[in-house]
Structure 1
Amino acid sequence: MKITLMSRGSGRAVRLAVAGCALLAVGAAGTPAPSTAPPDPLRASGTQVRLVEGAPEVPEVSALSWVVADARSGDVLAAHEAHRELPPASTLKTLFALALLPQVPAGRHRATDAELAGVGEGSSLVGVEAGRDYAVDDLWRGVFLSSGNDAVHVLSAMAGGKRAAVARMQATAERLGARDTRVVSPDGYDAPGQVSSAFDLAVFGREGLRDPRFAEYCRTAVADFPGREGAYGIRNTNRLLTGAEGVEPYPGAIGVKNGYTSKAGNTLIAAAKRGGRTLVVTVLNPQDGSSGAVYEEARSLLDWGFRAAGRVRPVGSLEPPVAAGAPASPRPGPSAKPATAAQVAASGQADGLGWWTVALAACAAALTAGGTAVGARRGWWRRGWWWRRGAR
């Protein structure tokens, strides 16, 4: 009888241990891991820059948001409200190109009325006509030079339609770590909820310059576009590249994309190369009021960036966060032994769960020991019972 009570008591102890471990597991699942990441300076308000002795002061500009970055390293040299979410206008076409350049097949395509039906009123157009055949290269030049929403809609149709284009754009933004961007319309036409940021647009511009086709299209100043009565000339609307309406071309300019809507104001991604260094500058919605302000403010930021390069400490990076694409914590291979509770406690960490993980590991060890003990007792009791029965 005494042996039977011991067996029941051991089972009760094991059941209590199981219940306690379950409660610990619930607590662990509901307790977020403490964050050890330092605050991101680029998410602070105001202008962010780290000048060293002898570095020039950052110029005063009226834009709501801007970024100056090194295209090769991705280092952000200075920024103002870098992650402020604002309408991007046609600068969003850079993300469109990043997402769809690999998707649209080369060759020729005949535009249709259905493809052009959704072009927004007042959109910038390159002059695509339904029923006419176009080389895909011509359509892409229509996007980059004339910011043609008509060309965007035709290219979207060739890659599966507007919805598919938007999904690819959003996925591309997330892959690049551009978390401020919400895509609604692939051409950048004002739409409720559609936003980006100076930081994200700098990411798109830098990534685009790495693609030979993107880089070629964005630096093209003039080209011919097919029309009813033969080809006609189109000119890049980025005034820093071509110069127009009182704006002088910027020395070493290599694109990237400008934009304007009544809601977004003037927006610009500009890149230039000087002395082996390439800078990317984004400027969103200058409050100066003049149409050329976005170019002149980008000019002053580019000038500053080239003078300050090597004399400022970066305030951030355009590189995607490691956590965004990092694999999960390494798992032990088939031959690896699981860590003991003591090893977990000594390490001070376990996938970010802290003391919860230590407690759970201790529970596991206790259950293992308890199960072994109960099994031993039951085995002894059974051996005794069979012995007694045999003795009778």
Structure 2
Amino acid sequence: MLTSRHNLAQLCAAVAAALPVLLVAPAAVAAPQVPPPSTAVGGERLGLPGVQVNPLAGAPALPRDLTGQSWMVSDAASGEVLAAYNPHLRLPPASTLKILFADTVLPKFDRNTVHRVADEEIQNIGPGSSLVGIKENLDYRVEDLWRGVFLSSGNDAVHVLSFMNGGIRRTVNEMQDRAEALQAWDTRVISPDGYDMDGQVSSAYDLSLFARAGLRNPDFRMYCATREAMFPGALDKNTGRRGSFGIANTDRLLGKYPGLIGVKNGTTTNAGSTFVGAAERNGRTLLVTVMHPASYQRVYDETAELLDWGFAAAGKVQPVGRLVEEKQAGGGEPTGQAGGATGTPAPPPHAADTATRPTGGGGGLDPVGWPTVAVGAVVAAGAVLLVRRRRASRRRWGRFEC
């Protein structure tokens, strides 16, 4: 029985000496890192660290002083990756994960469906979350809820749609399934709204896959391009009628960058700023994903700079990789035509909890024996210290989710 920190230190040292391989493996899986070239999805160069670009004669130079920890420029139609910087680096995605949420759930419900919100559907939303302002015991059309997701980045709208889909856990499982079908192996889904959660990660490459898939859905394209809308308000106690209020898209490039289609921005305490932008010019659609630049505004500035570069580089660079295509499973895939269809019923919940799902690291779990238990104790002790430090940081700086 452990009675002191000294005893715990002795146990850690003993386990470390006897089981070096087992101790290294869990740390390698848990730490965000660029996959090795032999396993990089989309091409080996996308697994290499640093800037990857293959210019031809007359190619423009990439923008200088880019601060994003990870970014990528790709052609939405051909899937060619024109340039990238650590595109498989696994980082917290913030609300850009809502792209995957929409790609998963949007095809299921007719936009004119009316849903009465129950009180439990808007409970347990993370403190500091961005909200559109949904009230319990009121009716909302599905299209209003999606405007709340895309324009206001409303976590309350995400929760309501998740309950309509069978619940948070089922939706998270389906999002993970969708990510795997798109071969987005860097992504692990813990919450459907992108709220900061330990272990929730994605990458510039995966977010680009999600955006490319989403833009094939006309409703997705419409919502992410909407700049302003009216949202249903509360009942007026005197007249018994419902009012409405205006909401505006939090995407700061929409309406400012020429040809911008959308897609989604995100900001959280842990993730910093992330942005996935799509723009069309001369019949060509480019995708740019920027994750974790030096400041909030830089995510928009660097996206615009990379879009400018991508359009100027047309025909003057050779691709360094490719956005892979969706895996075709047996049976039909969602059509994406949610506007006039009733959608497909949600499948039964998965038996396994989301924490046991694969994360693209390959292989199953070994049978549990005493070495695994010992290593688990060491890892758990380290995890407790990490959680305490994160909680202390959050108490100091507060939280902000968008």
Counterpart-to-counterpart distance in 2, 1:122 and 1:318: 34
What is the identity, as a one-letter code, of the residue corresponding to 2:130? Answer: S
Counterpart-to-counterpart distance in 2, 1:102 and 1:208: 10
Q: Indicate the residue corresponding to 1:40 in structure 2.
A: 44
**1:50 paired to 2:57:** no
Question: Cα distance, 1:43 vs. partner?
Answer: 0.6
Counterpart-to-counterpart distance in 2, 1:36 and 1:299: 30
Q: Indicate the residue corresponding to 1:67 in structure 2.
A: 72
Counterpart-to-counterpart distance in 2, 1:320 and 1:177: 8
Q: Alpha carbons of 1:157 and 1:272: their partners in 2 closer, same or farther (altered >3 Å)? A: same
Q: Indicate the residue corresponding to 1:253 in structure 2.
A: 260
Q: Does the Cα contact within 8 Å between 1:162 and 1:186 map onto a contact in 2?
A: yes
Pairing partner for 1:201 from 184, 198, 207: 207
Counterpart-to-counterpart distance in 1, 2:329 and 2:62: 35
Counterpart-to-counterpart distance in 2, 1:212 and 1:250: 21
Counterpart-to-counterpart distance in 2, 1:277 and 1:319: 19
Q: Does the Cα contact within 8 Å between 1:45 and 1:80 map onto a contact in 2?
A: yes
Q: Does the Cα contact within 8 Å between 1:144 and 1:218 map onto a contact in 2?
A: yes
Q: Does the Cα contact within 8 Å between 1:104 and 1:158 map onto a contact in 2?
A: no
Q: Alpha carbons of 1:211 and 1:307: their partners in 2 closer, same or farther (altered >3 Å)? A: same
Question: Cα distance, 1:36 vs. partner?
Answer: 12
Pairing partner for 2:251 from 219, 238, 247: 238
**1:82 paired to 2:87:** yes
Q: Does the Cα contact within 8 Å between 2:131 and 2:156 map onto a contact in 1?
A: yes
Q: Alpha carbons of 1:239 and 1:109: their partners in 2 closer, same or farther (altered >3 Å)? A: same
What is the identity, as a one-letter code, of the residue corresponding to 2:324? Answer: E
Q: Does the Cα contact within 8 Å between 1:143 and 1:149 map onto a contact in 2?
A: yes
Q: Does the Cα contact within 8 Å between 1:104 and 1:155 map onto a contact in 2?
A: no
Question: Cα distance, 1:253 vs. partner?
Answer: 0.6
Counterpart-to-counterpart distance in 1, 2:80 and 2:266: 25
Q: Indicate the residue corresponding to 1:313 in structure 2.
A: 318
The Cα offsets for residues 308-329 of structure 1, whole Å up to 9 and x where unpaired, read as 01111111111238xx5599xx
Q: Indicate the residue corresponding to 1:110 in structure 2.
A: 116
What is the identity, as a one-letter code, of the residue corresponding to 1:146? Answer: S
Q: Does the Cα contact within 8 Å between 1:257 and 1:268 map onto a contact in 2?
A: yes
The Cα offsets for residues 232-273 of structure 1, whole Å up to 9 and x where unpaired, read as 11000000004xxxxxx1011110000000100010000111
Q: Indicate the residue corresponding to 1:342 in structure 2.
A: none
What is the identity, as a one-letter code, of the residue corresponding to 2:273? Answer: N
- Compare 150-159 and 203-212 and name the one that shifted more: 203-212
Q: Which has the higher helix share?
A: 1
Question: Cα distance, 1:85 vs. partner?
Answer: 0.1
Counterpart-to-counterpart distance in 2, 1:326 and 1:225: 38
Question: Cα distance, 1:59 vs. partner?
Answer: 1.1
Q: TM-score, normalised by structure 1?
A: 0.70
Counterpart-to-counterpart distance in 2, 1:194 and 1:258: 17
Q: Does the Cα contact within 8 Å between 2:151 and 2:226 map onto a contact in 1?
A: yes
RMSD of the alignment, in Å?
1.8
Q: Indicate the residue corresponding to 2:283 in structure 1.
A: 276
Q: Indicate the residue corresponding to 2:182 in structure 1.
A: 176
Runs of 5+ consecutive residues of structure 2 not aligned to the other structure: 1-37, 237-242, 331-402
User: Pairwise mapping of residues 1-392 of structure 1 onto structure 2 (< 5 A)?
Assistant: 40-60=44-64, 61-106=66-111, 107-228=113-234, 230-242=243-255, 249-287=256-294, 289=295, 291-320=296-325
Q: Does the Cα contact within 8 Å between 2:122 and 2:136 map onto a contact in 1?
A: yes
Runs of 5+ consecutive residues of structure 1 not aligned to the other structure: 1-34, 243-248, 328-392
Question: Cα distance, 1:113 vs. partner?
Answer: 1.1
- The structure number with the bigger radius of gyration is 1
Counterpart-to-counterpart distance in 1, 2:99 and 2:254: 16
What is the identity, as a one-letter code, of the residue corresponding to 2:186? Answer: D
Give 3-state SS (helix, strand or coil) of 1:92's partner. Answer: helix
Question: Cα distance, 1:101 vs. partner?
Answer: 1.0
Counterpart-to-counterpart distance in 1, 2:52 and 2:314: 15
What is the identity, as a one-letter code, of the residue corresponding to 2:83? Answer: A
Q: Indicate the residue corresponding to 1:9 in structure 2.
A: none
Percent identity between matched residues is: 57
Give 3-state SS (helix, strand or coil) of 1:239's partner. Answer: coil
The Cα offsets for residues 321-358 of structure 1, whole Å up to 9 and x where unpaired, read as 8xx5599xxxxxxxxxxxxxxxxxxxxxxxxxxxxxxx
